[in-house]
Amino acid sequence: MQKEFYERLIDIMDQESVLLDEPMKKHTTFRIGGPSDYFVLPKNIEEVKGVIALCKEKEVPFYILGNGSNLLVSDDGFRGVIIQLYKNMSHIEVEGNAIRAQVGALLSKIAAEALQNGLTGFEFASGIPGTLGGAVVMNAGAYGGEMKDVLTEVTALTQDGEVKVLKKEELDLGYRTSVVGKKGYIALEAVVELQKGNPDEIKATMDDLKERRTTKQPLEYPSAGSTFKRPEGYFAGKLIQDTGLRGFSVGGAQISEKHCGFVINKDHATAKDVAELMREVSDRVEAKFGVPLEPEVKKLGDF
């Protein structure tokens, strides 16, 4: 099965784009994760469709990966196919006040393109360490802005392998959720609608947000970004801090001393360390405040 499956994969895309037993710690911002059986790098929509159709035919699990932020991969890795839509599918095009980009484009690159073209409205995303695809699926946001403020159209692949263009009103964008995620669609490209602005003011806003991030967030350590979703009426980081867990560690994983909303890979942490730390923190916060913490970080593989 393995040999036949591999040969079918290299029929769909070139051999250099199909990696075997690829360590996932090389592809996640946590720098954690065991090997994936197959790791593929499609160059276009047809290759994406071909790989997914093959996985479904052979009943092989698959997972769509961007730049690996917001993700904790098991120490045992992933028994299936990781489809990375990142560097190969990251084209960005400016169309008047709109920007059309493929889902592998980094949000920071889209924000830089907006600045270069004097377009305002995307500054909030300039420091989010992810790709457009992940941002669309979870309606990413920061500093008072979120994707639903600017997103006007998403081209996605449905479960049936049909390419569908979804307009804003069909996207059902809520707090860290969208129809794309709920229905298990695969985002391929998206359009954001911005406004003409003053490039100096846009740059000043981006610089200010960058300054706030670097002084308040533990960017010097590998992490997956914010670890828990914001519970209604509270801030996860504040609850964790008030539970007395600043700097709390399990193995090489630690609650950041700089910002309690972040779990960091302080010293060769394993996925098991991080998962145990998250569980312990959730239990203690709920015991003290009666507020359940829901992970924002996705887990992949066996835990």
Catalytic entry in 22, 47, 123, 296: 296
Hey, what amino acid is at 16? E
The neighbouring-strand residues paired with 106 are: 131
Residues 6 or more apart whose Cβ sits within 8 Å of residue 88: 17, 41, 42, 43, 104
> Which contiguous run of DSSP H or E holds residue 20?
strand 18-23
Provide Rg for the chain, Cα atoms.
Answer: 20
Q: Which 3-state string (H, E, C) describes 158-178? A: CCCCCEEEEEHHHCCCECCEC
In whole angstroms, give the CA distance from residue 17 to residue 25: 18
Catalytic entry in 31, 79, 176, 284: 176
Phi, psi of 285 (to 5 degrees): -65, -45
- 226 annotated active-site: yes
Catalytic entry in 17, 74, 223, 226: 226
Cα separation values, 29 from 129, 226, 277, Å? 9, 12, 18
Q: Which residues of 29-53 are buried (b: 16+ CB within 10 A; e: fewer)?
A: bbbbbbbbbbbbbbeebebbbbbbe
State the DSSP code for 14. Answer: -
- 296 annotated active-site: yes
The residues annotated with a catalytic role in the active site are: 176, 226, 296
